[in-house]
Structure 1
C-alpha cells in the first residue's frame, strides 16, 4: 500500500519540475516562489518534525536544532569551497559565482530528502492506515514543491537542462524507493529527526543566501515578493490540511 501511495508523490514531483521548466521566461518569479516554498518547508514542516522526532538535548539545546545549525554551516562551507575551487581554476566569462556543483549537491540532498519522505510514508503505514494516509497527504502535497525546487536549484547554478531533468526524475523516484525500503528495514525515529534538522538547515541557507537574492537581483519587483509569500503560505495550508 505504501509503495502505491508513493507513486502519487512521484507524479506530483514531476508536476512541480514541469512547472519550473515551463516558466523560464519568468525566472525571477520562479525563484521567488521557490524561495518561499523552501522557507515554508523548513520552518513549518521540517523543523517542527525534527524537534518532535529527535527528542534528546545536548548541553541544554535540542539535538535537532544543533543539527539544523550544522546543516546551515555545512551548506555555507560547501558553497565557499566550491566557489574557491572554481575561482582558482578560472571561472568562465559571464558565469562568475555560478558553481554547478553546488546545484547538483543541493539537488542530491533533495533526492535524499524525498527518499526519506517515502520512508516516512512506509513507517506511518506500519503504525496504521489512518496515520499512513495523513502522512501521505502531506508528502504528496509538498512533493510539488520538492520537484519545483530540485529543477530550479539545479538550473540556477548553471547546470544544463538535461542534468536538471535527470535530477528531477531521480527526485521523483526517490519516494517510491524509500517506501519500498520500509518493507525490509525500520528507521529509528531519533535518526530520522536528526536528518530532518540537518537537511532543514542546509535548505534554509540555499533559500536565504542564494535563491531569494538571485530572485531580486535583476527584478526587484513586488510580484517577486508576492510569489515568495505565496510559496510560504501554500506550505502552511498544506501542513494545516494534513493535521
Structure 2
C-alpha cells in the first residue's frame, strides 16, 4: 500500500494532533493533586520524556534517513535542523522555567508569552518529526510514522504534567496551568502540517527532512530538556529515567517495526 500526497498530509496532521493532545492528558492530574510534584519527580518525568524522544529520533528518524539517503545527506540534515533551532533559540525571546530568560531583552513582553514562546520552540520540531515520518507513504513509512507519533505522545504525558506543575509553581491557577500546557501540545499539529506539507511537495527530499527533524529534536533534548533536569541536584535520577525512557521506546519501536 502506498499513500497519495493528500493522504500523507492527512496522516501527518492527524497523528501530530493526537500526539500533541497527549499533553492535555498529562496536565489533567494537577486538578487532583493535593501537593505539587517535587523537583526530583519533575526531573525524572522530564528525563523519561527525553529518553523517549532520543530513541524515536535515533530509530525512527536518523536510521530511516541513512537507509534512504545515506550518511552525507543525513549529516547535513541534522546540522541544518540543529542550526535552525539554534537561530530560533537565539533570536526569539523566551523564558525557561529553571534557566530563566534567554534571547533579546523585551521587558514589555509579558512573562506568560515568554513561556509560550519557549514551549513553541520545544514542541514545534516534535510535530514536524511526526509529519515528516509519514513522508514516504509506503507501508514501512506508515509504520514508522505511527512509531514516531506514539513516541511523541508517550513523552508528552509526563512532559504535560511537568509543564503544568511548573506553571503552578510560577503562580498560575490550576485552570490556567492546564490550558497553557494543553496549548503547548496543540502547537505540534502546526509542526506536523508543515512537515507533511514539505514532504508532499518535495518527496524526493524525504531523507533530508527526516534528518532535519532529527537535528531539531536532538537540539531540544540537549539544549532544553537535559539542562532543565540537571539543575536541582537530581542528575542521577534524571539520567536513569532518560535511560529507562530510551529502552522503553527502543522496545516499542522494535515491536511495532
Structure 2-normalised TM-score? 0.66
Structure-1 separation of matches of 2:57 and 2:23 = 18
3-state SS of the aligned residue for 1:88?
Answer: coil
Q: Show structure 1 runs of 5+ residues with no match.
A: 56-60, 126-130
Shift of 1:167: 3.8
Whether the 8 Å CA contact 1:119–1:175 is kept in 2: the answer is: no
Aligned residues: 224
Cα 1:44–1:103 change in 2 (3 A) is same
Which residue in the other structure is 1:142 paired with?
Answer: 151
Cα 1:76–1:133 change in 2 (3 A) is closer
Cα 1:62–1:100 change in 2 (3 A) is same
Structure-2 separation of matches of 1:162 and 1:148 = 14
Which residue in the other structure is 1:71 paired with?
Answer: 81
3-state SS of the aligned residue for 1:89?
Answer: coil
Whether the 8 Å CA contact 1:17–1:150 is kept in 2: the answer is: no
Shift of 1:240: 1.4
Structure-1 separation of matches of 2:145 and 2:105 = 46
Which residue in the other structure is 1:102 paired with?
Answer: 118
Shift of 1:230: 0.9
Q: Show structure 2 runs of 5+ residues with no match.
A: 31-35, 94-100, 171-175
Cα 1:174–1:107 change in 2 (3 A) is closer
Structure-1 separation of matches of 2:242 and 2:108 = 30
Cα 1:242–1:108 change in 2 (3 A) is same
Structure-1 separation of matches of 2:135 and 2:106 = 41
The answer to whether structure 1 residue 211 and structure 2 residue 225 are counterparts is yes
Structure-2 separation of matches of 1:175 and 1:146 = 16
Which residue, 189, 203, 206 being the options, matches 1:192? 206
Moved more, 109-118 or 199-208: 109-118
3-state SS of the aligned residue for 1:62?
Answer: helix
3-state SS of the aligned residue for 1:218?
Answer: coil
Structure-1 separation of matches of 2:218 and 2:106 = 29
Which residue in the other structure is 1:115 paired with?
Answer: 131
